[in-house]
Chain A
Amino acid sequence: AQSVTQLGSHVSVSEGALVLLRCNYSSSVPPYLFWYVQYPNQGLQLLLKYTTGATLVKGINGFEAEFKKSETSFHLTKPSAHMSDAAEYFCATSFGYKLSFGAGTTVTVRA
């Protein structure tokens, strides 16, 4: 069964610094992969997704992720953190139409 593992439950970065959130997947078939962001007491918003094609995926708010089959990874990055990036981030994979989420990574941004 498809699943994802997020490495690091909490990441703290300085404003302006690189944001790197790690996600590894396990799948017997080429996966669909997603990154979502959740602000406190809110639902999820899709940042980006990989289905097929180009392995470097650009999303909203300056985020991007690269699908690396050799490393079974789909890490999320943003070159320069902003205070508004403080939130919970979830990596997910799909099986059919269903989504399976990682445990989540909390991002805090220091001024």
Chain B
Amino acid sequence: GAVVSQHPSWVICKSGTSVKIECRSLDFQATTMFWYRQFPKQSLMLMATSNEGSKATYEQGVEKDKFLINHASLTLSTLTVTSAHPEDSSFYICSALYRSRDTYEQYFGPGTRLTVT
């Protein structure tokens, strides 16, 4: 199957700083990527849809100025958590949409654990 990587796998930052998380599709091009957030023992919550060459589409209740998404190439999307606070601590997972003529599927990255102190 297709491979999606995330970097870093975990990060600890101080309150008030910004953190950038990268999501890469390693063996296919993805015009669309997704960013999810997962709290402990909970399900995944879709934060935003990242579209190559255009603005991201954010889900209701997600602050676009706090969670900056850039999809500058067909294989890379980045999520920047700006002015992070302890309540932003979470597990962030990206996925890349693989599309062929007959089907499509989201391939997920391994996730990034963010801890804000």
Contact = CB atoms under 8 A, between A and B. Distances in A.
A42 B95 CA distance: 12
Given A42-B110, A43-B108, A99 B46 contact: yes
A104 B42 contact: yes
Contact of B42 (A36, A99, A103): A103
Q: How large is the interface on A (under 10, 10 to 19, 20 to 34, 35 or more residues)?
A: 10 to 19
Interface in A45-79: 45-46, 49, 51
Contacts of A101: 43-44
A98 B43 contact: no
B106 interface: yes
A46 B43 contact: no
B110 A97 contact: no
B70 to A, nearest CB: 19
B46 A98 contact: yes
A87 B111 CA distance: 16
A41 interface: yes
Nearest to B99: A97
A77 B102 CA distance: 27
Contacts of B6: 43
Contact of A102 (B43, B49, B97, B109): B43
A36 B43 CA distance: 11
B113 interface: yes
Interface string A94-111: 000111111110000000
B63 interface: no
A44 B108 contact: yes
Contact of B105 (A41, A46, A98, A102): A46
Given A42-B111, A99-B44, A103-B42, 13 more contacts: A41-B91, A43-B4, A43-B6, A43-B109, A43-B111, A44-B93, A51-B103, A97-B49, A99-B34, A99-B106, A101-B43, A102-B43, A104-B43
Interface of A: 36, 41-46, 49, 51, 90, 97-104
Interface of B: 1, 4, 6, 32, 34, 42-44, 46, 49, 91, 93, 95, 97, 103-106, 108-111, 113
